[in-house]
């Protein structure tokens, strides 16, 4: 079985393409999925670096789409031939995986495997970030960091769909154009401008009602200046490193709310998993939520990681 293997933590070159991994067999309650497309996410980079340690050696990747090839005993939710997607299961940078049937999402017949691998982690992350903390609506301002990235681009579209004004921060002029195409009302090049000051200027001194931050260390201090009175800041990633600590008392003068989010806590049951997945799939089918996908062959996993780490990608990176 072809796969990417990590034998030691480090930079992207530790991602080794091999053709000697054993093909797994499904156990009770599991399905054997032939993987056609795997999603690349920042958590794959954190694990590869050792920031989120996993046992070595290991096959990276937590998200994929493919076809059920076989099932183990007592499987009742899927059958051979079903087209499925999943997230939250290790080892997707490979040709096969054996996975708990409870994690599988049935793909609509018109959806490609590339789309199937692109929506679960980032789409459901966007769903909980928009709906679980302070659901925006008309008259609200939402500040979205890394707005041309995978999650960021979906957040821009979802917030605009709900009628909010969106301020997007990006690193390059090319990404600024992408954020505008996705519907952002205003775009700030944080590499050239003080995004907190610009946010206050755009909102006539009020600030953003909701800030969604997957960048972390380099942006969080500015979040506390850019947020509105009684506004909400949500940290859901650490692309630039973990955010520095803040005293809870520092939130009191403007009555700021601060939250942290992680997808597995918002897909804790199968009912919740399917509710979020179906909401994302429905939005894609309705045509207002669009996936932007860049496809690379599996053996170029290291290149995909470098693109993501260097913030040179726009949209979702997929390995096939």
Beta strand 83-87 with 105-106 is: antiparallel
Please, which pLDDT band fits residue 43 given cuts at 50, 70 and 90? Answer: very high
Please, which pLDDT band fits residue 238 given cuts at 50, 70 and 90? Answer: confident
pLDDT of residue 172: 92
pLDDT(5) > 90: yes
CA end-to-end distance (rounded Å), the chain: 14
Mean pLDDT along residues 194-203: 98
Please, which pLDDT band fits residue 159 given cuts at 50, 70 and 90? Answer: very high
Where is 301: in which H helix or E strand? helix 301-309
Mean pLDDT along residues 208-219: 96
Mean pLDDT along residues 40-67: 96
Average pLDDT value over all residues in the chain: 96
Where does residue 269 fall: left (phi above 0), alpha (psi -120 to 50 degrees), or beta otherwise?
beta
pLDDT tens-place string over residues 291-313: 999 999 999 999 999 999 887 88
Residue 106 and residue 93: Cα distance in Å, rounded?
A: 20
Please, which pLDDT band fits residue 120 given cuts at 50, 70 and 90? Answer: very high
Mean pLDDT along residues 114-134: 97
Helix axes 173-182, 150-161, angle to 10 degrees: 40
Mean pLDDT along residues 109-137: 97
HSE toward the beta carbon, residue 83, CA cutoff 13 A: 13
pLDDT(76) > 80: yes
Mean pLDDT along residues 34-61: 96
pLDDT of residue 312: 82
Mean pLDDT along residues 187-200: 96
Please, which pLDDT band fits residue 46 given cuts at 50, 70 and 90? Answer: very high
Cα maximum dimension of the chain: 62
Give 85-115 as a DSSP string.
EEES-S--SBSEEEEEGGG-EEPPTTS-HHH
pTM of the model: 0.94
DSSP class of residue 24? P
pLDDT(315) > 90: no
Please, which pLDDT band fits residue 249 given cuts at 50, 70 and 90? Answer: very high
pLDDT(212) > 90: yes
pLDDT of residue 239: 85
- Percent over 90 (pLDDT), the chain: 94
Where is 125: in which H helix or E strand? helix 120-131
pLDDT(314) > 80: no
Instruction: Delineate the domains of the chain, giving CATH numbers in brackets.
Output: 3-119+291-319 (3.90.180.10), 123-263 (3.40.50.720)
Tell me which residue has tokens 């054993």: 22
């Amino acid at each position: 079985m072809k796969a990417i293997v990590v034998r030691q933590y480090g930079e992207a070159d530790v991602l080794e393409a091999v053709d000697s991994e054993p093909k797994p067999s499904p156990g009770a309650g599991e399905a054997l999925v032939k993987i056609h497309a795997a999603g690349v996410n920042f958590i794959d980079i954190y694990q590869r670096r050792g920031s989120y340690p996993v046992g070595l050696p290991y096959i990276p990747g937590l998200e994929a789409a493919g076809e059920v090839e076989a099932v183990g005993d007592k499987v009742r939710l899927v059958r051979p031939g079903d087209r499925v997607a999943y997230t939250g299961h290790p080892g997707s940078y490979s040709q096969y995986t054996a996975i708990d049937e409870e994690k599988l999402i049935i793909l609509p017949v018109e959806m490609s495997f590339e789309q199937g691998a692109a929506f679960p982690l980032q789409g459901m992350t966007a769903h909980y970030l928009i709906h679980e903390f302070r659901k925006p609506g008309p008259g609200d301002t939402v500040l979205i960091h890394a707005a041309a990235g995978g999650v960021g681009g979906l957040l821009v579209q979802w917030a605009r769909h709900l009628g909010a004004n969106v301020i997007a921060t990006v690193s390059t002029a090319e990404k600024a154009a992408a954020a505008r195409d996705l519907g952002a009302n205003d775009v700030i090049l944080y590499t050239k401008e003080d995004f907190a000051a610009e946010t206050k200027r755009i909102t006539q001194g009020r600030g953003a009602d909701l800030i969604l931050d997957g960048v972390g260390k380099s942006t969080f201090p500015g979040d506390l200046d850019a947020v509105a009175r009684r506004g909400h800041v949500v940290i859901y990633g650490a692309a630039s490193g973990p955010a520095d600590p803040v005293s809870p008392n520092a939130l009191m003068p403007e009555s700021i709310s601060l939250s942290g989010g992680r997808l597995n806590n918002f897909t804790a049951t199968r009912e919740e998993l399917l509710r979020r997945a179906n909401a994302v799939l429905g939005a894609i089918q309705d045509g207002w939520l669009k996936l932007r996908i860049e496809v690379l062959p599996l053996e170029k996993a290291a290149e995909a990681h470098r693109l993501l780490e260097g913030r040179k990608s726009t949209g979702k990176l997929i390995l096939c």
